[in-house]
Chains A and B, each alone.
Chain A
Amino acid sequence: MFPHERSLVARLKDEPFALIGINSDKDLEKVAELNTKESITWRSFWNGPDGTGGPISKRWGVTGWPTLYLIDAKGKIRHKFTGNPGDEKLDALIDALVQEAKQATAGH
């Protein structure tokens, strides 16, 4: 997913959009190293030393990776995917919500 996420973040860098991760790797030092290597620039919560068994994924009942939630600008959960839904589909859904957010701001 990384290449698509990189381009997504680059494409929407001036839009009301953020990619936020819940990194579920056990070894935090390795994460820093690999983030640099893979040019991962977006921010992630760290799920703790238990990795996929960490507190955030446990509380959220996540049992598959990746799990994605798409949240609108008002903080409502709009879409949820276990597994990658496909780049084009994800792009279209995000773009629609970004448009919605911009229209809401313009209307105020």
Chain B
Amino acid sequence: MLSLQCLFLFALLGGIAGSPPPDPVPILRLPETPEELKLEIEAAAKSAEIDEPQALAFAARAVAMGKAGKNAATRVGALDAALRIPLRKKSADLAAQRDVLWDLVIEEDAQEGVLLAPLVARNLKDEARLEKLRKKTKAPELKATFAYMDLLPQINKRDRNEQETKDLIAAIEKLKKEHGSVADPMRKQTWAETCDGVLFPIQKLAIGMEVPDIEGKDTAGVAFKLSDYRGKVVLLDFWGHW
């Protein structure tokens, strides 16, 4: 015991051989980026279900990152990371952490349409927060996103009568006219293109319409067309083995 203490003392005083103690290596840690945090959350969620303490620890890091963030990308990224924490049970504490970031982003970055539009589109359930943002923003990408959001209940409705279909088509045409040239950052195209994509199934795939042709390759790699089967009743089935 005594000899151990001596050895420790020796080491402290400069080592047995008299060599100077090594300089402490400075720990150079770059500040964590939102992308790193997102990847870590994703990896943690893959290996096991995330519990509340774990979720709150991730959220705390996101909040710290957001508060320290000197630019919109970091703050919005931190909010995005916090919103991606997959916790199944409801947690008031997690909601409070997310609210801190929402408030920060709405306060500082409400005009960052390109950064915020995809986040808004992915978090439509956060209605109260989105309303706040909607009131504050003048960003064209967000105005278009919010206009589209208003149409979603109708777009997602399975059975529309003739009048509802007409009204919906008119509403989408209006959105296209007003916001068509604006970027849709989530889909990486313009809102005109997004509107056309939404209109296609509504206009062309209604009961009674002539079916649009499909050209492609079969699972053996042979090219064919749906119209090759004209003259036969066709059951077209979107399916998979999963």
Q: A residues near B, CB below 8 A? A: 1, 5, 8, 15-25, 28, 30-32, 34-35, 38, 43-47, 51-52, 56-63, 65-80, 82, 90, 94, 97-98, 101
- By a CB distance below 8 angstroms, the chain B residues around A65 are 238-240
Q: List 14 A-B contacts (CB under 8 A).
A: A15-B233, A20-B235, A35-B219, A46-B218, A56-B214, A59-B200, A61-B201, A65-B240, A73-B230, A76-B208, A76-B211, A77-B209, A79-B207, A80-B205
Q: Please give, as numbers and ranges, the residues of chain A lying within 8 Å of B229 by CB-CB distance.
A: 18, 20
Q: What's the nearest-Cβ distance from chain A to residue B206, in Å?
A: 7
Q: Smallest Cβ distance from A87 to chain B, in angstroms?
A: 12
Min CB distance A97 to B, Å, is 4
Interchain pairs with CB closer than 8 A, number = 152
Across-interface contacts of B208 in A (CB, < 8 A): 76-78
Chain B residue at smallest Cβ distance from A16:
B232
A22 in contact with B238 (CB, 8 Å)? yes
Q: Please pick, from B202, B219, B226, B235, the residue contacting A46 in the complex, using a CB distance under 8 A.
A: B219
Sample of 7 further A-B pairs with CB below 8 A, known A45-B226, A59-B200, A61-B197: A20-B229, A20-B235, A44-B219, A65-B240, A67-B237, A78-B208, A80-B207
What CA separation (Å) do A38 and B198 show in the bound complex?
35
A97-B211 contact, Cβ under 8 Å, with A23-B219, A24-B240, A51-B240: no
A1 near B233 with CB under 8 A, answer: no
Q: How many of B's residues come within 8 Å of A, CB to CB?
A: 37
Nearest chain B CB to A58's CB is how many angstroms away? 8
Pairwise interchain contact B237-A19, C-beta atoms closer than 8 A: yes
Whether A5 pairs with B237 at a CB distance below 8 angstroms is yes
Q: Which residues of B contact A73 (CB under 8 A)?
A: 230-233
Measured in the bound complex, the distance between the Cα atoms of B214 and A51 in whole Å is 17
> Does B238 contact A67, Cβ atoms closer than 8 Å?
yes
Q: Which of B156, B218, B230 contacts A44 (CB 8 A)?
A: B218
Interface centre among A20, A31, A66, by most chain B C-beta atoms within 10 angstroms, is: A20
List, in ascending order, chain B residues with CB within 8 A of A8's CB: 235
Residue of B nearest to A99 (CB): B233
In the complex formed, the residue of B with least CB distance to A9 is B235
Residue of B nearest to A98 (CB): B233
The closest CB in chain B to the CB of A35 belongs to B219
Among B198, B233, B241, contact of A71 (Cβ-Cβ < 8 Å): B233
